[in-house]
Structure 1
Amino acid sequence: MKPILATTAVGLMTAVLAGGALAGALSPEEQIETRQAGYTFMGWNMGKIKANLQGDYNAEQVKAAADTIAAIANSGMGALYGPGTDKDIGDVKTRVKPELFENMQDVGKLAGDFTKAADNLAEVAAGGDESAVKAAFGDLGQACKACHKKYRADD
């Protein structure tokens, strides 16, 4: 494993293992900022996959990005939606709709669908088949949109 990948993997595993315990120790502002950082990092990795699907396909880059997305999806980010994180706090803004906190069963289903799609993308990416990755990437995008449509406010 390359040094930067090893460092990233160790950091992600630390975040995964500490996720639930750490979230309880974070203020509402820190929970919002942390979950936004996770989504931003996932988005950046999705952009890397999209670029590979639209240009010269590099299976190694796609696999690394898909593994990162799956790691974040499985990290317990739901714990970062604690009390008080349903609205802006000072300079810390959130786009989460209050309805998210009122429909936890639906949110749990959507989160499960997202995690399943992320895990599938990582598994498919490990095989290196570009057309299979494209299909799995589309499924992941749909899982993202399903939650955004219901529970994320527009800019």
Structure 2
Amino acid sequence: MRIAVLTALASVSLAACGQEAAPTNTVAASETNAAEATPTVATPAAAPATKEEALKVMHERHEGMEDIGKATKTIKRSLDSSAPDVAEIQKSAATIAALAAKSSTWFPQGTGPDVRKTGAKPEIWQTYPDFAAKDADFAKAAQAFDAAAKTGDLNQIKSAFGDLGKSCKACHDKYRSEMHR
């Protein structure tokens, strides 16, 4: 059960950053008790079979990240206004949470800058366990923010939005390069 929850959380985190969940390897700590299972070192999913498939994953990742960015800007604009629109915040929070759930699948091997220009740094695949942990943190923060938004309490929303931003920054500072179009 814990593995399923951890895997779901990892998927949610990455989706919020616009990344899909990559499968993780798990080892049962006790064959007689599945609840005692613990995850092993995360590894990225295998590379897509063709360049076209890699480009499709990269496009999905880009679009997911763009949607997360747009939702984040909508939330910030609303929170900065004199009369925040809670319904708008809730809708954007749900979008981020849904995408965060997919993000761990957006970074399989073979979808980095060696395929085409991307904001994803090679360090993602070189230090994947750290990247996957940051993505899991993002998914968790996205779910917590969505839950806070559903309460309608602006103090809870602002606090959870700050935590969400910190989780995005932790990953982007290390694993995202600036792209100039």
TM-score by length of 2: 0.67
Aligned to 1:137: 161
1:95 Cα deviation (Å)? 1.2
Q: Which consecutive unaligned segments of at least 5 residues does structure 2 have?
A: 1-19, 22-46
What is the CA-CA distance between 1:78 and the residue it aligns to?
Answer: 2.2
CA contact (8 A) 2:90 2:150 kept: yes
Rg: which structure is higher?
2
Distance in 2, Cα, partners of 1:59 & 1:97: 35
Name the counterpart of 1:60.
87
Q: CA deviation at 1:24?
A: 5.6
Total equivalences in the alignment: 132
CA distance in 1, matches of 2:125, 2:108: 9
Moved over 3 A (4+): 23-26
With a CA cutoff of 8 Å and minimum separation of 6, indicate the structure with the bigger relative contact order.
2
Report what 1:102 is aligned to.
126
- The equivalent position to 1:73 in structure 2, one of 100, 104, 114, is 100
Matched, 1:32 2:58: yes
Offset from partner CA, 1:21-75 (integer Å, 9 cap, x none) = xx96861111111101001001101111101101121111111110110011012
The code of the aligned residue for 1:103 comes to: T
Checking the alignment, whether the CA contact within 8 Å between 2:57 and 2:111 is kept in structure 1 is: yes
- Residue 124 in 1 paired to residue 151 in 2? no
**Alpha-carbon deviations, 1:93-129, whole Å to 9, x = none?**
2011111101111111101110110000000000101
Say if 2:48 and 2:109, in contact at 8 Å, map to a contact too: no
Q: In the alignment, is the contact (CA less than 8 A) between 2:109 and 2:125 conserved in 1?
A: no
2:139 aligned counterpart, secondary structure:
helix
Amino acid of the residue matched to residue 112 of structure 1?
A
Q: Distance in 2 between matches of 1:78 and 1:99?
A: 16
Distance in 2 (alpha carbons) for counterparts of 1:24 and 1:88: 14
Identity %: 35
2: CA distance between counterparts of 1:86 and 1:69? 23
- Answer 1 or 2: which has greater helix percent: 1
> SS where residue 78 of structure 1 aligns?
coil
Distance 1:126 1:24 in 2: 37
2 CA distance for matches of 1:48 and 1:88?
33
- The residue type paired with residue 129 of structure 2 is Q
